[in-house]
Amino acid sequence: MNAEKSPLKKPTERYQVKQATVTMFGINIHPMGMSQTLDVVHECITSKQSLHVGMLNAAKVVNMKRNPALGEDVTSSNLILADGCAVVLASKILKKKLPERVAGIDLMHGILERGNTKGYRVYCLGATEEVSEEIERQINKHYPGVIIAGRQNGYFSEDQQQQVAENIVKANADVLFVAITSPKKEQFMAKWGDVMRVPVVHGVGGSFDVFAGKVKRAPLIWQKMGMEWLYRVLQEPGRLWKRYLITNTLFIGMLIKELVKPIKSS
């Protein structure tokens, strides 16, 4: 059964982000920092409005152009943030000036930190069963005020998606963290977001692996230098070097095209 024919209840009202967007690479991005984003998240939880958070880094920009379906899924989010330093740097070069990077993992921890005092109900979807179990332990340890409404590993088939969505509805969560790789993460969020009826849906990618201690995050100095991607490559060179070489090169090419657009149109 597809999402349109699902017997689940109607979704909550879609939140209208008041912050004006800036347009880069044909994508409307919200120039918001962490504090403002967390305020919007809390407003949606308390008002029971629907907020889908889309995270944008250089690789995502490139892959959205390669895969129009992914582009549609990402742009269906009503809040799109700069998750990558390369996107923030590109905004400065293009005189768009996004205020700061809002990394997906940092936003996840920010939501958990605020939820620790507000009693947010959180559902964790994705990663392996081992990592999922560890995430539950880590949240209980570091954010005891957060209520884990439920969890589900990311290893389910397309035929099982509706059952997963129904389980999430029954959990009555305030926040859904989706730790599935792209483009499956965006596809799932776009297809089932309206029927899951969770106020805040945030695709966190590989953040569960980092939080669970399976993958080491780059030191803060690497993050500030915008070299977190290189730190990841050094950890898994065989798997990641070619991906980042290609996507970074293509992103630079896309940035050059954005720079020459005003010249061509003048």
- Below-70 pLDDT ranges, the chain: 1-12, 262-266
Task: Determine the pLDDT at residue 164.
Answer: 96
Both tokens of 62, joined, read: 């490139």
Q: In sequence order, what are the residues at sequence separation of 6 or more whose Cβ sits closer than 8 angstroms to the Cβ of residue 50?
A: 11, 12, 13, 14, 15, 44, 78, 193, 194, 197, 198, 199, 201
Q: What angle do CA 32, 36, 40 make, to 5 degrees?
A: 105
What's the whole-model pTM score? Answer: 0.89
Q: Give the dihedral of Cα atoms 53, 54, 57, 60; nearest 10 deg.
A: 160
For residue 173, the number of C-alpha atoms closer than 13 Å in the C-beta half-sphere is 26
CA distance 142 to 140: 6
Task: Determine the pLDDT at residue 264.
Answer: 59
Bridge partners for 224 per DSSP: none
Task: Determine the pLDDT at residue 232.
Answer: 76
pLDDT digits (tens, 9 = 90+) for 230-239: 777 787 777 7
